[in-house]
């Protein structure tokens, strides 16, 4: 597959200009179908971050003092500019990340919706007021925190960038975004989108580069009081440690190993559809993937057999082919990591589907969707996030064992519960340690609701008013009456 009009160099965007790194360094960017470099990206470091933060600081007074309605108008124009590029976005996102083209097609709409939603939120936002009898009146003033540092991962990169850009801009912050180094291509659309929408120079700055260099420089910069991070748990821990030096506010959206709990009384066909979607769509590279499937004993054999049949029927192929359901995993290093888990799983559990590269795909990072059954709770494939099309299935005997198994990992991002007994569904939802739970439904988001995890899956919530709380500081003013 080839794709037209790719930029030979993906450059930083600082103060409204496309620029190279101060020291001229670049790093190669490859596509996951051939693992051949197709472009270079600027490799940012402290000097580039310094420049970007300075641009964001000088743009802050004007942007933060715009009225909410005016900022909302700009956000709606950004949404329009994103939507007009939806085909281009889908094709470059699919090319750079290996996502099936049909799934990449939804990304522009979701990204645009993030901007429209936060435009609405900021216009509708009221500030709180309190009265103590006839003696005192107090009111809250919200102020944007300043220059926000946004650090994002490689899965659905453009959409996840928009998830942070939209509320930060709506709140009146200016910002520096550090996209993931494995997938910098779609971020190269932002400069033209922001220019077309009339975002003033310096409000948004993008510094590409490696996490340990560009990302770390952003985390260490004293004039960036806030870091919004989505990525792995280990990197999140490291960023919290580094942020402590300047007492930064951080939001951590981290890894997961989310359970799908299926009771024998569930609509098994619907549960099967959801489980297949939850762990194999987006190539299994989804933070909220239901990657542990717990099935009540009476339904266990049948469910496992049908899941294996479904996995065998999933079409793995080139991401650009509209028939493809699972494309190429993002990077050879990640592919090796996932294959290593498959080898570990062979020793720990019973392989019932997949486990190998599809015979018709000799090159590229392809793996047949893989199902392991009878997975013990202490198995690594039960405990660790694999972040690929690999699922661990285990039986349970009763409700309390279901909850115990669901909670038996360090993670707590999402959970899915399938039962026709709604009282039980609610009981389990309350007992499961995770930030987001779906009962008889799968991963349908509502942008007004809190998004985030507990335990090793994160700290803090974004989404709805939570995002605005995060990107603003509240100040209380007390007045005697």
Residue 39 token pair: 């472009």
Q: Which of 41, 78, 199, 239 contacts ligand NAD by CB under 6 A?
A: 239
Residue 4 CB: number of other CB atoms within 10 A? 6
Asked whether position 110 contacts ligand NAD by CB under 6 A, the answer is no
Q: How far is the CB of 252 from ligand NAD (least distance, A)?
A: 8
CB of 459 to ligand NAD, least distance (A): 11
- The verdict on whether 401 is a catalytic residue reads no
Q: In the bound complex, which residue of the shown chain has the CB atom lying closest to ligand NAD?
A: 211
Q: Does 365 bind ligand NAD (CB under 6 A)?
A: no
What are the tokens at 418?
């399938």
Ramachandran assignment for 53, one of left (phi > 0), alpha (psi -120 to 50 degrees), beta (any other): alpha
Whole-number Cα distances in Å, 322 to 100, 102, 275, 289, 326: 7, 6, 22, 22, 11
| Angstrom distance (rounded) from CA 319 to CA 403 | 37
Q: What count of other Cβ atoms lies within 10 Å of the Cβ of residue 88?
A: 15
Instruction: Output the smallest distance, CB 255 to ligand NAD, in A.
Output: 3
Could you say which of 287, 296, 385, 462 is catalytic?
287
Q: Does 216 participate in binding ligand NAD (rule CB under 6 A)?
A: yes
The answer to whether residues 152 and 160 touch, using CB atoms and an 8 Å cutoff, is yes
412 makes contact with ligand NAD (CB under 6 A):
no
Question: Which run of H or E residues covers position 294?
Answer: strand 292-296
Each residue 143-182 as x (binds ligand NAD by CB under 6 A) or -, in order, gives --------xxxxx----x-----------------x-xx-
Euclidean distance between CA atoms 306 and 312, whole angstroms: 10
Q: How far apart are CA 401 and CA 318, in angstroms?
A: 41
Q: In whole angstroms, how close is the CB of 434 to ligand NAD at the nearest point? A: 11
CA 410/CA 398 separation, integer angstroms? 22
Residues that bind ligand NAD (rule: CB under 6 A) add up to a total of 30
Number of CB atoms found within 10 A of residue 57's CB: 15
Which window, 38-46, 214-222, 376-384, 436-444, contacts ligand NAD (CB under 6 A)? 214-222
Q: Which of 387, 396, 470, 471 is the binder for ligand NAD (CB under 6 A)?
A: 387
Catalytic residue among 253, 325, 385, 462: 253
In angstroms, the CA 205 to CA 184 distance is 14
255 makes contact with ligand NAD (CB under 6 A): yes
Query: Is 192 a known active-site residue?
Result: no
Give the span between the Cα atoms of 209 and 365, in whole angstroms.
Answer: 23
Stretch in the footprint of ligand NAD (CB under 6 A) among 32-40, 130-138, 228-236, 335-343? 228-236
Q: Kindly list the catalytic residues.
A: 253, 287
Binding stretches for ligand NAD (CB under 6 A) = 151-155, 160, 178, 180-181, 211-212, 215-216, 219, 230-232, 235, 238-239, 253-256, 287, 385, 387, 413, 453, 458
């Amino acid at each position: 597959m080839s794709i037209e009009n790719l930029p030979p160099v993906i450059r930083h965007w600082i103060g409204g200009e496309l620029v190279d790194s101060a020291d001229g360094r670049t790093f190669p960017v490859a596509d996951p179908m051939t693992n051949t470099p197709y472009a270079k990206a600027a490799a940012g470091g402290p000097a580039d971050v310094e420049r970007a933060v300075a641009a964001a600081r000088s743009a802050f007074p004007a942007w933060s003092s715009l009225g909410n309605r005016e900022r909302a108008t700009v956000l709606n124009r950004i949404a329009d500019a994103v939507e007009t590029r939806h085909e281009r976005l889908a094709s470059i996102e699919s090319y750079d990340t290996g996502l099936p083209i049909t799934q990449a097609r939804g990304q522009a709409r979701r990204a645009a919706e993030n901007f429209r939603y936060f435009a609405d939120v900021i216009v509708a936002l009221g500030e709180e007021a309190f009265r103590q009898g006839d003696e005192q009146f107090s009111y809250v003033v919200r102020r944007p925190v300043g220059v926000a540092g946004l650090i994002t991962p490689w899965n659905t990169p453009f959409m996840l960038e928009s998830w942070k850009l939209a509320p930060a801009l709506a709140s009146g912050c200016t910002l520096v975004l550090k996209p993931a180094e494995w997938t910098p291509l779609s971020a190269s659309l932002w400069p033209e989108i922001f220019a077309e929408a009339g975002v003033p120079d310096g409000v948004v700055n993008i510094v590409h580069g490696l996490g340990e260099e560009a990302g770390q420089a952003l985390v260490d910069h004293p004039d960036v009081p806030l870091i919004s991070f989505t990525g792995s748990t280990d990197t999140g821990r490291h960023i919290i440690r580094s942020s402590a030096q300047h007492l930064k506010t951080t939001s951590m959206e981290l890894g997961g190993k989310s359970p799908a709990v299926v009771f024998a009384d569930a609509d098994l066909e619907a549960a099967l559809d959801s489980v297949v979607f939850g762990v194999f769509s987006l190539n299994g590279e989804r933070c909220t993937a239901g990657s542990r499937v717990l099935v009540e004993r009476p339904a266990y054999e049948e469910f496992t057999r049908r899941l294996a049949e479904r996995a065998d029927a999933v079409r793995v192929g080139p991401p650009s082919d509209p028939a493809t359901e699972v494309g190429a995993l993002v990077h050879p290093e990640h592919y090796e990591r996932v294959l290593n888990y498959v080898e570990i799983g062979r020793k720990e559990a019973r392989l019932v589907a997949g486990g190998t590269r599809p015979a018709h795909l000799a090159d590229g990072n392809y793996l047949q969707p893989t199902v392991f059954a009878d997975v013990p709770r202490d198995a690594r494939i039960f405990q660790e996030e694999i972040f690929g099309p690999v699922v661990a299935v285990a039986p349970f005997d009763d409700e309390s064992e279901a909850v115990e198994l669901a909670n038996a990992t360090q993670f707590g991002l999402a959970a899915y519960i399938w039962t026709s007994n709604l009282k039980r569904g609610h009981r389990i939802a309350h007992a499961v340690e995770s930030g987001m739970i779906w009962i008889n439904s799968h991963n349908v988001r509502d942008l007004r609701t809190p998004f985030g995890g507990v335990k090793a899956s994160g700290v803090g919530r974004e989404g709805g008013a939570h995002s605005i709380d995060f990107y603003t500081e509240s100040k209380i003013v007390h007045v005697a009456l």
